[in-house]
Chain A
Amino acid sequence: MTTRRRFLQTGLCTAGAAALAPGLFANEGANKPPTRFIFIHKGNGLFPKAMVPPSLSREEMEKEDRKESFEVSLTEHQLPEWMRPLEDHKQNMTILQGLSGKMCTTGHHTWQSSLGVYKANERLSSIKWATVDFELARLFPSPFEHIELACFPHGGGNARGNINGIEKGFSARGPQRPNYAFGSPKVAIQELFKSVSHDKRDQIKYELERQVLEFAFGGQSNRGRHLRGVEKLKVLNYADSLQAIRERNQKVDAMADVIQQHVPQLEKKFFADDISTTDRQVGHTEILLSALISGMTNVVTFTIDELGTRYTGIPTIENENVNLHDVGHGKGVGSLKAEEVREKLRHHHMTLVDKMVKRLKSVPEQDGSMFDNTVLLYFPDNGETHHSHGTEWPFIVMAGNNVRLDVSGKYIRLPSYGQQGHKTLGNWYTTILNAYGHPIPHYGALDTGLAKYGIDQSGTIEQFLA
């Protein structure tokens, strides 16, 4: 029995309830399309100053420099140069500044922190609860529940080993339960679209998997029949879990025609083992879109890069193998200064976001498009800079017309760290979860350092729920 006080003292996430009852809180009408969520996070920090529209008035710019709260319409302002690919989507876009995340692991590598709002590290025991993307995935059930794609880091403290495989990702299903992410377009297509694959080997693999699941289900069901009471339930529950996966596969099989229509059409280079980083990102973007449009999932999380990701294929410096850590320490690449490299990468990311938004806008859904029911979040995995402290956590939010958050066409700076009204990453995710029917009092750990300012850290950011 968790009282509010204990909740606040321990900073525990009480979102587990949703995990136990997928869809319990979903209040969408039967005919209403689900909301889709795309989480895109990047490494090496995201400078708050890089987020500021250059056309702000002097007065607004002074407020920005003092990090005072204010809000302006984006339609009246220019976007920063690197965000220009989003120029056509300004009405569907918000730049959100001023959130803090000191309750997260900050600095170089942050693991599940930016999605889970707690201090995570390489140990699974540090995963305290399901990350926010999984909470949302449970509110909008789908055959795959959630799909994670990643440009895995090659080295550093967060190395994943096989960057082309299926490895522990940056999302978590629950306490100490990491999610697994697809590291390359090749492996993602093989796994996600195997039921409609024309490749003989994939078909065999799928058939073998089907047989094993059927066999295991039969074996455990039979075993359960010979037991009694709670011991019977212990085995039948396991058998039910096997059956649930079989049923998921059956649903996917039943969607074969739709999935077939949306199998990503990628050139040969996207299947190469030595695929460049930027091509890997493009390939993942296609898979992300196919998975959403076909209805395989409603939530995709995409690690577009991480500090340990070695970059190749960056426009104009295609042949360079860029070390993001060096860039973080101000080291340039060729004739480009570190900040220019950063700008190029962000610009490339925005071209991918533009592609996602345009594609989703092109898919009709009820009276509008699929994008009307989509929320896209682009943000750093570690806060405001390379060696971050979590005092700021900038976001770009793209959202369609039917979403339940008041975020269209704005530049919003919230009160800065320690100021009255200051809000955290936890408040932001609580706002999103509450808006979509999950009545959680607060998502995420609390910041022990904020207590001295007398700031109530729990709950939503009311202005977004208006």
Chain B
Amino acid sequence: MPKQQPGENLSRLPRIHRHFLTALSVVVFASSALGQSTPDHFVIPDSVQTVLDNRCMDCHGSDAAEGDVRLDNLAVLPLPERLELLNRAQDQLFFGLMPPEESEQPTSKEHTALAVWMRSELLKHRASKLDEKLRHPAYGNYVDHARLFSGKISDKPFTPARQWLVSPQIFHERVNDVFRLTGRARQRSFYGVTNPFVLPEHSGVRDYDITTLEGGHLLVMLSNAQWISQKQIFAAVHAGADRRQVEHPNPKDRWYPSESPTAFVTIVRKETSPTDPEMVAAIHAQFDCVLRRDAGDGELERYLPLLRSTIEIGGNAEGLRQILVSVLLESEFLYRQEFGVGTPDEDGRMKLSSFEAAQAISYALGDLGPDPELQKAVAEGRLSTPEDFRREVIRLLADTEYYNGAVDPGLSGKNMQSHVTSHPKLVRFFREFFGYPGAVRVFKDQKRSDGYYQNPSRGTAGTPGFLIKEADRIVDLHLQRDEAVFENLLTTEEYFVYHDKDNETGRRIIAEWTEAYEQLKDTDWKTDPERVIAENLEFIQSRKSLRILGGKQRREFLRHMYFFGETIGKGRTPFTTVSFAHGYTYNHSPFYNLPPTPGIFRYGRIEQKNFKGLDDIEFWDYPVDQPFKIASRKGLLTHPAWLIAHSSNFHTDPIRRGRWIREKLLAGHVPDVPITVDAQVPDDPHRTFRERVEGVTQNDECRKCHQHMNPLGFPFEVFDDFGRYRHNEPLEHPEQLISKSGNRADIFKTRSVSTLGELRGTGDPKLDGKVQDPFGLIDRLARSRRVRQSIIRHAFRFFMGRNELLSDSQTLIDADNAYVDSGGSFRAVVVSFLTSDSFMYRKELP
């Protein structure tokens, strides 16, 4: 991808947003004074009145009030109505919906004048709804891309002073911290703790700083706090006791932390009321457990009388427990605090305190709080400068142990465990960006997949779970290689499929199996398996990968031999886990257009008297060394997980796929479907799904938006809604039925699919243009500077927890340059972000 030149303007977005964003930056961020003034002295400046008269009153004056909107009587409207109307007008102007396309458009000067005036009027009363809207993920791309990367923005970057709700993962780790658990003592789950947080399900960055604690969170936290505090008190009461002798109120909930703060032990064991110093020590101890700091003087002044009172009423242990609950209910436990400290600089910005900075760095890179080294840097005053930040970030990125863990524990079930890696959070950015984990939420008709697709069910994430894990592995592979990461993720032809063992282990297993099969295939294993086992017992026992021992060894031996016979015996390598292993659920190779592997029941009847042999099936010649190349696939956009995530229950979804590319890769935006539109794709027994979509979106009103999506999504019609490559589409309509089938998909007549599409919006004439298929489209996207910068923008949102502002321009340019200069290192991007002013500085907004 070519490097961005400062000042270069690649914008193809409506200029209207650029004018408006000028207004935003002028009014919102440069002038907080406006927000201080509240008197309702309403005057429309002459320059604005002229614009309203010339551009708006024809349709929204006293004679015509289209859409029941009048702008001629603004001055006489009561304040609430006026503010509501101004908010509506501001939205229309910002999103380019007014004046209508067919009308004469205002000049840029007129547009800016109108926008600035509206915003100042709304901000006078702190009533602008647009600002709130623009903080949401869906509006990230409304900040003009070309201006962001133009190099012309001189505003100093900052993040608004804020409280950022902890993610579900961070919450869980904070509970571990409350109990001061370290290393292997840290728990994967707690019996009595329900995670109160859930991230939104949309594709794209999900963890923003816009979420607010509400009643539902509190209800869950009330019960969590009860359970946690009971365990803390239980641990204090039984400190030093023989754990085997301890009696538990609930025999099925026997866990409790092995250590308890001394201050708690002192109070619960004391037979008289504790002294003030003892109570102060206990309050400090709980602050340290929960909030990782001592209580402040003001906090002690509040907590101490409460503790005295609760102990008087409930006794030492129960009284102390109420304090533990109270600290657990502090909003600071659930919000990450980032306010900054010190004297504001000339731009009104304050640096994060070293305590805040340590938390911010650690939670940017993982789910755990600061490690001991980072805490030491805080204690020694070595976390202040960009160099300090850089040193710690690079150190933590090189640390393969501290954050090591599962990418998505939610995927783990009885038959599969989530992929584990050194920095799960880095993988999580890409899985959120691409949105492929959404595959678990799309339910499919199993029969249409020839019976291979397993929907998520009890204890298993089903087929999509396996596919998502395999996509995670690709992401992790390229993060570990850390070269041309974006390009490789978009264009790689190498995939992981099944691969439940490392390459070396896999090779060893296959060598042993092959050796065993070669040695035993010519024996009487079918007719006299017991004798063959007995004669070769030493050999079998010496091959660890052959599990043919115990009471069922005859059956196991036969199963192995049949399994080897129709794989190794036919010159194919078998998958390195036998299909008759307990809980075996590997069925999903067909979704990569790979041959199937034997199912769990295939060898179930081999010992039955009426067993006539196995039907001949061409099983997959399994590649032990992975990743490996798969034909007709290129990058994550052709991975079945992504394709399923961007499909519906029964169909592909070219519109959503196209929209994803427009928004995520091209930094563009498409308005939501108007509320008046019943956007249904009509049934038609004779046309493909693409043809039906084209038919229903070709009128002018629909085309306005669909032209930004459909041509980007249609090339992916070469994959069906299960992610299988195809040339022909079955016309799944009763009129086209050829034959019904029991457990397999019914057979329908087919039509060939068209994969033609068009790429527009890269800003590069060499890349924009018609494409023949998804592979050509992907190749061009991977070469696009705009695509690279769009990914950088989304990464910014992930690590900062918010949409970018124009003032973040320098941060984004620096990160982009870091990526290019490093040959495509994502870690370089992360370092750049976490040492930027956007990350280090906070500014209080009105």
Residues of A at the B interface (CB closer than 8 Å) are 1, 3-6, 9-11, 105, 107, 109, 119, 121-126, 157, 159, 161-162, 165-166, 168, 173-178, 180, 204-205, 207-208, 211-212, 215-216, 218-220, 223, 228-231, 233-235, 237-238, 241-242, 244-245, 445-446, 448-449, 451
Subset of 7 A-B contacts with CB under 8 Å: A119-B456, A121-B457, A175-B198, A212-B326, A216-B330, A228-B844, A449-B445
Q: Is the CB of B331 within 8 A of A238?
A: yes
Is there a chain A Cβ closer than 8 Å to B64's Cβ?
A: no
Residue of B nearest to A174 (CB): B216
Q: Is B534 an interface residue (CB 8 A)?
A: no
Min CB–CB distance B14 → chain A (angstroms): 21
Interface string of B447-474 (1 = CB under 8 A from A): 0000000011111000000000000000
CB distance from A232 to the nearest CB of B (A): 10
With A and B bound together, what is the CA distance between A306 and B680 in angstroms? 41
Q: Which residues of B contact A238 (CB under 8 A)?
A: 212-214, 217-218, 331
Identify which of A3, A4, A238, A449 gathers the most chain B CB atoms within 10 Å of its CB: A238
Q: Is the CB of A11 within 8 A of B649?
A: yes
Q: Is there contact, CB below 8 Å, between B445 and A448?
A: yes
Are B219 and A173 in contact, CB atoms less than 8 angstroms apart?
yes
5 A-B pairs with least C-beta separation: A161-B252, A5-B680, A238-B213, A241-B215, A162-B250
On whether the beta carbons of A234 and B252 are closer than 8 Å, the reply is no
Contact B212 A122 (CB under 8 A): no
What 1/0 flags go to B238-256 for Cβ under 8 Å of A?
0000000000001011000
**Given contacts A4-B678, A162-B250, A162-B253, A105 and B163 within 8 Å (CB-CB):** no
Task: Check B846 against A161 for contact (C-beta < 8 Å).
Answer: no
Contact A216 B326 (CB under 8 A): yes
Q: Within the assembled complex, what's the spacing in Å between the Cα atoms of A105 and B455?
A: 11
A-side interface mostly = helix
Taking CB atoms, residues of chain B closer than 8 Å to A229 are 845-846
Residues of A contacting B191 with CB < 8 Å?
A: 161
Residues from chain A with Cβ under 8 Å of B456 in the complex: 119, 121, 126
| Minimum CB–CB distance for A284 against chain B, Å | 20
Q: Which residues of chain B are within 8 angstroms of A1 by Cβ–Cβ distance?
A: 672-675
CB distance from B760 to the nearest CB of A (A): 25
CB neighbours of B845 from chain A (8 A) = 228-229
Known: A228-B846, A231-B161, A448-B649. A122 touches B677 (CB 8 A): no
Q: A21 to B191, alpha carbons, bound, how many Å?
A: 32
The reply on B77 being an interface residue by CB < 8 A is: no
* Residue B220, interface by CB 8 Å: yes
| B214: A residues at CB distance < 8 A | 237-238, 241
User: Is B195 interfacial (CB 8 A cutoff)?
Assistant: yes
> Are B331 and A235 in contact, CB atoms less than 8 angstroms apart?
yes
Which chain A residue has the least Cβ–Cβ distance from B335?
A234
Residues of B within 8 A of A230 (CB): 132, 210
CB of B100 to closest CB in A, whole Å: 20
- Interface contact A211-B458, CB-CB below 8 Å: no
B539 at the interface (CB under 8 A from A): no
B: number of interface residues (CB 8 Å): 62
A6 neighbours in B (Cβ, 8 Å): 673, 679
The chain A residue with its CB closest to the CB of B213 is A238
Chain B nearest CB from A419 CB (Å) reads 16
**Complex Cα spacing A176 to B223, Å:** 16
A244–B215 CB distance below 8 A: yes
Shortest A177–chain B CB gap in Å is: 6
Which chain B positions have C-beta within 8 A of A121? 456-459
Whether the Cβ atoms of A161 and B216 lie closer than 8 Å is no
Question: Which of chain A's residues has its CB closest to B195's CB?
Answer: A124
A154-B209 Cα distance, complex, nearest whole Å:
42
Contacts of B210 on A, CB cut-off 8 Å?
230
CA distance A231 to B313 in the complex (A): 36
A103 to B649, CA, bound (A): 12
Interface residue B310 (Cβ < 8 Å from any Cβ of A) = yes
- Give Cα A105 to B458, complex, Å: 8
| A234 CA to B165 CA, complexed, in Å | 9
The residues of A that contact B673 with a CB separation of less than 8 Å are 1, 3, 6
Contact A235 B163 (CB under 8 A): yes
CB neighbours of B318 from chain A (8 A): 204, 208
Quick one: which of B288-331 are within 8 Å of A by CB?
Answer: 302, 306, 309-310, 313-314, 318-319, 322, 325-326, 329-331
Quote the shortest CB–CB distance from A60 to chain B (angstroms).
32
Decide if B459 touches A122 in the complex (CB within 8 Å): yes
The answer to whether A161 touches B253 (Cβ under 8 A) is: yes
Q: Which of B132, B314, B458 contacts A122 (CB 8 A)?
A: B458
Residues of B within 8 A of A119 (CB): 443, 455-457
Contacts of B614 in A (CB 8 A): none
Q: Which of B228-267 contact A (CB under 8 A)?
A: 250, 252-253
Chain B stretch 591-612: residues in CB contact (< 8 A) with chain A: none
> What is the distance, in angstroms, from B133's C-beta to the closest C-beta of chain A?
12
With both chains docked as a complex, state the minimum distance between the C-beta of B426 and any C-beta of chain A, in angstroms.
Answer: 22
A5 touching B681 in the complex, CB below 8 Å, given contacts A105-B458, A119-B457, A207-B313: yes
In contact, A162 and B218 (Cβ under 8 angstroms) = no
CB neighbors of A among B523-576 (8 A): none
Give the docked Cα–Cα distance between A304 and B844 (Å). 55
Q: What chain B residues lie within 8 Å of A208 (beta carbons)? A: 310, 313-314, 318-319, 322
Once bound together, how far apart are the Cα atoms of A230 and B195, in whole Å?
24
